[in-house]
Structure 1
Amino acid sequence: MVLEKRINAFAELGNFLSQFSQQKIEKKEDVLFNDLFFDAVKLQINRATEFNSWFTKDNVLYAIENWSKLLNKNELTAWTSCYNLNIDTSKTVAVIMAGNIPLVGFHDFLSVLISGHHICIKQSSNDKHFLPLLAKYLEHVEPNFKGKIHFTEEKLTDFDATIATGSNNTARYFKYYFGNKPHIIRNNRNSVAVLTGNENLDTLKGIGEDIFRYFGLGCRSVSKLFVPKGYDFNLFFNAIYEYNDIINYKKYENNYDYNKAVYLMSEFDILENGFFMIKEDNSYSSPIATAFYEYYDNLDNLKSKLKADNDYIQCVVSDVLENTVNFGKTQQPGLSEYADGVDTLKFLSELE
């Protein structure tokens, strides 16, 4: 199957997904195979929290809407044009997916198939209901995908390369098990924001989106703040206050109450506003309902630190440093913003 056909199929999938947004779910007349798939996907969206209580309808729709915007011919053509994807022999790529946020493994799914390979998918039990539906839709749009997509819950065998995402502990297992074949293995990373104290309120409000979207469970969720000495945290708390309704979500509230109790019993100094806490800490990975913060002396020293700690950081939010993400945009990566900075399409295009 030529690349153009693969692009067209995913563009049709993007058109299908455009019916599901945070504003409304609306069936359109010009979408292929809508009679077969629209109601099934709508039902799955409405039932998502039954299978994973972190998957609220709003967060599921946010993820779907972002993918619908990326899956169009212009975006897909521009992305793939940088690679030689006219491969002679398709390989089978085993993909082990995380399940921390809705459709978190979709980029790997897209990358393997758009590059012309076969995919064998082992999903997380926390996110296993959406992707099989979307795979079936693709097979209806482009029958040449049939036989190229396989889901399994068994031990992975008969594959040529691996893309695996998990925790730091599982990453060590992945390296042992898959190390003798071409592989991309990802482990825990977190995202950080660099504040100067000069941000206006509208800019700073974006940090709330970066922190609270998906309840902070994503690797692109901001879990650490770097602030100058003497920083006025009232600015920060004022900016994020509009997210205060998050405390009404029971599972989040339970985490907030538990972590607050742990901090208080341990006599740690914390600042909090009734739904969120910040704590001075050198670590990057903070618990739910918490962000760590660390002071910096000057931006040059901070740049050096961030470079040295690159293996722990997924992305950096800032309006004063280069090669960073704008406030409020961490959960809207482009197709070429690869997890852990590893170029997935380059890896796939070079498989032999």
Structure 2
Amino acid sequence: MNHSDRLAAFVALGQRLQNLSEDELASLGARARNQNNWFTPTNVAYAIKGIAELLDEEPLRQWAGRYPAEPEQPRQIGVVMAGNIPLVGFHDLLCVLLSGHILLAKPSSDDTVLMTWIASELVKIEPRFEEMIRFAPRLNAADAFIATGSDNTGRYFEYYFGKKPNLIRRNRTSLAILTGRESEHDLGLLGEDIFRYYGLGCRNVSKLYVPVGFSFPTLLDALQPWHHILDHHKYQNNYDYNKSILLVNGVPHYDNGFLLLTESPQLVSPISVVHYEGYQHEVDLVERLTTVAAQTQCLVSAGGQYPGSFAFGRAQHPQVWDYADGIDTMKFLAQF
């Protein structure tokens, strides 16, 4: 199977995902939720739609054309996949297979239903992929590794995978930049970046950078359409718990009934909480963002006006070349 065949199969997979029936989506969503209660049918459908966009033919071909069509020799690439949001490991699957290598995958125990399903759909389209996709509990046979996890598991990965070529990703989170000039519509779009997947993704906004004197009630009012997020009992439990902690400790905060905003230098916030930090002027903002660049997955701003940022509402819609942690996975694979 050559590069053109592999690329055509992924384009066909994107078309297949676009044309899933409501019954197919409902059945898949129910199976995923039975495995992981955070994976609601709505969020599963949203993730599948995002992957279909990722596999749009023209940008996919342009991206793939930047790299060697075939490896010097196909290698077994061990991939330790995360499972914090639905199908988060798909981009690694795409990169390994499109580059002509063999995928030796260890999916997260929280996301085996969706990952094995999408792999089986790909094999239905191009049966020759069956010999290139292997799901395994152990990755001892791998020639190189790609692993995604926390800072703690990153040290574990370095210890066990350090003797072979490896690409290891650690904790990152995403930040929003506000100027105080955003419209109500802009602020409403920011809700997508905060609440989608219940804030569990590394592309979810966990911290706001706001000008000193920013009007938080305006923001909280604009986010009201997301009040239904409390319908998920786990989110409700997190909100109740974190609110009680803030109240018991006397921590100043804003509360709109389903989201808590509190000032903090920390980037990562608990579920249902978003941190904020004030800045005096743009030079001050740039300095702060530079300091935390290594822990930042992406930035969002109104209309994507801030250099290098995504528009509000688009954090969960990366292009196929928007690599996690800014590390070029295809370049890593091209060395073999």
Per-residue CA shift, 1:202-249, capped at 9, x if unaligned? 111111000000000000000000001011112211211111111122
Aligned counterpart in structure 1 of residue 255 of structure 2, from 269, 272, 288: 272
Q: Are 2:63 and 1:66 equivalent residues in the alignment?
A: no
- TM-score if structure 2 supplies the norm length? 0.96
Q: Are 2:157 and 1:174 equivalent residues in the alignment?
A: yes
In structure 1, the partner of 2:312 is 327
Per-residue CA shift, 1:305-340, capped at 9, x if unaligned? 212211111001124420111000000111000000
How many Å separate the matches in 2 of 1:134 and 1:51? 16
Q: How does 1:42-121 map to 2 (within 5 A)?
A: 42-121=26-105
How many Å separate the matches in 1 of 2:116 and 2:36? 16
Secondary structure class of the residue paired with 1:218: coil
Aligned counterpart in structure 1 of residue 167 of structure 2, from 172, 177, 184: 184
User: Any conservation in 2 of the 1:10–1:72 contact (CA below 8 Å)?
Assistant: no
How many Å separate the matches in 1 of 2:84 and 2:106? 14
User: Any conservation in 1 of the 2:187–2:219 contact (CA below 8 Å)?
Assistant: yes
Aligned counterpart in structure 2 of residue 222 of structure 1, from 195, 202, 205: 205
Identity of aligned residues (%): 43
Q: Are 2:13 and 1:13 equivalent residues in the alignment?
A: yes
After TM superposition, give the deviation of residue 349 of structure 1 in Å. Answer: 1.1
Aligned counterpart in structure 2 of residue 163 of structure 1, from 117, 134, 146: 146
2:89 is matched by which residue type in structure 1?
G
How many Å separate the matches in 2 of 1:93 and 1:142? 20
User: Any conservation in 2 of the 1:190–1:221 contact (CA below 8 Å)?
Assistant: yes
After TM superposition, give the deviation of residue 137 of structure 1 in Å. Answer: 2.1
Secondary structure class of the residue paired with 2:147: strand
Per-residue CA shift, 1:95-130, capped at 9, x if unaligned? 000100000000001010011000100011111111
In structure 2, the partner of 1:146 is 130
How many Å separate the matches in 2 of 1:323 and 1:72? 23
In structure 2, the partner of 1:349 is 334
Secondary structure class of the residue paired with 2:22: coil
Per-residue CA shift, 1:1-30, capped at 9, x if unaligned? 21110011011111111124xxx727xxxx
User: Any conservation in 2 of the 1:194–1:226 contact (CA below 8 Å)?
Assistant: yes
Per-residue CA shift, 1:179-206, capped at 9, x if unaligned? 1211111111110001010011111111
1:149 is matched by which residue type in structure 2?
I
2:329 is matched by which residue type in structure 1?
T
Secondary structure class of the residue paired with 2:223: helix
In structure 2, the partner of 1:126 is 110
How many Å separate the matches in 1 of 2:317 and 2:238? 26
After TM superposition, give the deviation of residue 42 of structure 1 in Å. Answer: 5.0
2:12 is matched by which residue type in structure 1?
E
Q: How does 1:168-317 map to 2 (within 5 A)?
A: 168-317=151-300
User: Any conservation in 2 of the 1:19–1:25 contact (CA below 8 Å)?
Assistant: no
1:2 is matched by which residue type in structure 2?
N
How many Å separate the matches in 2 of 1:207 and 1:159? 41
After TM superposition, give the deviation of residue 141 of structure 1 in Å. Answer: 1.8
Give unpaired runs (5+ residues) of structure 2: none
2:189 is matched by which residue type in structure 1?
G
User: Any conservation in 1 of the 2:227–2:258 contact (CA below 8 Å)?
Assistant: yes
User: Any conservation in 2 of the 1:193–1:222 contact (CA below 8 Å)?
Assistant: yes
After TM superposition, give the deviation of residue 161 of structure 1 in Å. Answer: 0.9
Equivalent pairs counted in the alignment come to 334
User: Any conservation in 1 of the 2:258–2:272 contact (CA below 8 Å)?
Assistant: yes
Q: Which runs of 4+ in 1 moved over 3 A?
A: none
After TM superposition, give the deviation of residue 282 of structure 1 in Å. Answer: 0.3
How many Å separate the matches in 2 of 1:50 and 1:144? 31
After TM superposition, give the deviation of residue 269 of structure 1 in Å. Answer: 0.9
User: Any conservation in 1 of the 2:29–2:39 contact (CA below 8 Å)?
Assistant: no
How many Å separate the matches in 2 of 1:102 and 1:318? 25
Secondary structure class of the residue paired with 2:268: coil
User: Any conservation in 1 of the 2:105–2:136 contact (CA below 8 Å)?
Assistant: yes
User: Any conservation in 2 of the 1:14–1:71 contact (CA below 8 Å)?
Assistant: yes
- TM-score if structure 1 supplies the norm length? 0.92
RMSD of aligned alpha carbons: 1.3
1:25 is matched by which residue type in structure 2?
E
Per-residue CA shift, 1:40-91, capped at 9, x if unaligned? x652222221111100110000000111122132122011111113223101
